[in-house]
Structure 1
């Protein structure tokens, strides 16, 4: 991409929130990145500008046909006051896969990584320093053409927002209770399950609401064809430690290719832990549970990193895993992953990308 990144700094800085009031995704930094796409011209006018509302025509196609995709990653400040990103190249690769699935124009991954580094460097002081905190990064693309025709838009806008977020486990990491969903379906092979698009998340909300009414924190999604094979937990990938092996649902076109998922698999294999990617039925898991072989379960994702599962409810069966305690492997994975992200342990995989020096 040959166009130059233009930077316009704000003249009125926001007051930064207190570290114990950060929450998740409710505060936003002083600046954002924007770039436009026009058919025949390509991506153009990349710029870092003061954070501000976006004006769209009410007939913009994003509102009517849902052409939108997004990503999520984080920036961290380590003990030397340097800013780092965790595997950002993989986020832009996945963004392109999502764009392709939604018939949207691809981005230049190398250019976007450099633009992101410049944006994070501009907002470095917004990266919180307290343990467990970080700067959440949300790149997204929307269709902007005003048209009711059912087709791909001819114009788009890419925006990156930054949001300082608090520690996910502010009160300490605790295993969650999961309801295995037998009625609603998150995604189906051939659909958009492996794309990070808004409709996937909108369609999941009803099941999550009903699970919470039953006393469960999250939903375990089954496949949309046979309604028996495990796919994801909430908006995270899911892992099970069974008799010394770690089982993970294989990627099948309806499961999102999580970057934390991939990192976890790399880490486990490096430790010599057997990892089996396969179709996992609830019958398989229940049988392992009855034999005392279901030792640990956890979800993986950007926000939580590793989220331990202490209980699952399936067809009136209550499965309490590891006495509803955090498993040894789950805890080790969390400590090692976050240790790399915050620069506390050696990054032997080369996953950390430096943004700014101290």
Structure 2
């Protein structure tokens, strides 16, 4: 990468006019053939041409899986890095970043690492979580333990010069422990939505000292998202009522079985897919137990899930054996749409392509 060092923190602050605000599989998903990251396979007008036959999605039965995405193509292969830079993180802490030689990324969605790869900084990532599945990170050490918890000792073992994290992974004292060990830590916004994509990219780019590269990545992602949303509008144009959708989070056959409610990132995802978020419609909060009562109350037509989560509970048969699932319309029709874990809710630079892959699985039954 090209590297320029600012003469003073004040000069960096003037140059960086960005505002700082700113994921679960056990094995990375196999990478598809590398493409533009994330690719919208055709423009909206081409994809939604009259030749595209869209079935009645309510006539579709059985599970479908969203296609895995290809490797992320960096917006720039050798970005100019300007350090030191001082930012104020999501918790109000001022942090002066002096080196990005060894970055550790910690979030449940994989958004942070996806953004760094998109910025051309994949080689700077020294530690990751199980949600960070891009092909460029295959050999990067994992620093999380079971149940998406951060192993602070594992983080320190990779000798990070910067840790970028949000509060979606525990324990809550991780930032304090890492700062006490002398590591620069920038805490990012844990919220995810279409409206926050620009802010998240901007915040990560500023913390990494590549604000201009971040602006270019924002522009590319916004253009791809506009195309994808227009494509979905045409897929759903003939529906009298939107499909009733719900996002399930499940791990294993025991107690980890939740619905993402109206205060979660699932609301933005389902809205972008042209669906009705039934958990939000009945006032469910961020996450609620997916018990028989709650499932029958919302009665979704489509369940959206992480692929490894479905496999961990015994596939379709295991899922429908859980109380209440088989009594829903989605359960009766076995209409379960899965995506690779890092694709379902990321809202980073891969979001437009991940969204299109989900829409194709929902409305075209395509994989």
* TM-score, with structure 2 as normaliser: 0.30
> Which has a greater percent of strand?
1
Relative contact order, higher structure (CA 8 A, sep 6+): 2
Q: TM-score, normalised by structure 1?
A: 0.31
